[in-house]
Amino acid sequence: MQPYFLPYIGYWQLINLVDQFVIYDDVNFIKKGFINRNSILVNNNSFLFTLPLIKASQNKKINEIFLNGTNKKLIKTIYESYKKAPFFDVIFPMIEEIFHYDEKCISRFIVFSLKRISEYLNINSNFIFSSSINYNKSYNSQNKLIDICKVLDTKHYINLSGGVDMYDKEAFGDENIILSFLKTNKYSYEQFKNPFISDLSIIDVLMFNDISSINKLLNNYKLF
């Protein structure tokens, strides 16, 4: 998976499910994606935030993209938006720790955040940068993934359901690899007694739910 900053619950369901989670950091950066953007709850509405970057370009690899700035305004927005949330006192210091992590490379910065939240949630998946794997980078996107699986001696590859039209189960099967897709089931939780807004950043999930409730959300999916 490409590295997403503080992603929605489906991304975390995938992390929680697998033994090895490959961070696809040596592919081209995608503007207006979720690498440096996500949504939180602000004034009972979904609010899209963006991490500022230095000369980001789709001609650069993700691990060639660097952060620009300190995000003080965004941290304050998170504080003001969630200061009355039930788990604010526990979660906000961790969010501050993530934002203050001294790393400008976007992929490494994101992996720190994934590891830090995984630690809090007792998730034990091993994160691996694709740039550290000796796979054939000249292949097309599907064959790259197959080759990564072969190098890692992986017999089961799982992708989020958004990739269902991109990857072919038969092609993976020809290499003795099972291909599955994960789809998040419908879910909800209380957000300040307002109508529920789904698929926000994990920040929102953490602010409104204890670990036991989050574990239930992490297992609320189907594989196909």
Q: Residue 47's pLDDT is what? A: 98
Q: Look up the domain containing 181 and give its range.
A: 9-223
Residue 180 lies in a domain: yes
Residue 157 lies in a domain: yes
Say whether pLDDT at 75 is over 90.
yes
Say whether pLDDT at 171 is over 90.
yes
Residue 120 lies in a domain: yes
Residue 4 lies in a domain: no
Question: What are φ and ψ of residue 58, in 5° steps?
Answer: -75, -5
- CA-to-CA distance for 157 and 222, rounded, in angstroms? 15
Could you tell me the pLDDT band of residue 63, with boundaries at 50, 70 and 90? very high
| pLDDT digit string, tens, across residues 134-161 | 999 999 999 999 999 999 999 999 999 9
Say whether pLDDT at 77 is over 90.
yes
Place of tokens 């993700």: 62
Residue 85 lies in a domain: yes
Say whether pLDDT at 70 is over 90.
no
Give the chain as a DSSP string.
----SS--HHHHHHHHH-SEEEE--SSB--TTSSSSEEEEEETTEEEEEE--EES--TTSBGGG-EE-S--HHHHHHHHHHHTTSTTHHHHHHHHHHHHT-S--BHHHHHHHHHHHHHHHHT--PEEEEGGGS---TTS-HHHHHHHHHHHTT-SEEEEEGGGTTT--HHHHHTTT-EEEEEEEPP----BTTB----S--HHHHHHH--HHHHHHHHT-EEE-
Q: Residue 69's pLDDT is what? A: 86
Could you tell me the pLDDT band of residue 180, with boundaries at 50, 70 and 90? very high
Place of tokens 């038969």: 170
Residue 211 lies in a domain: yes
Our count of domains for the chain comes to 1
In this prediction the pTM is 0.96
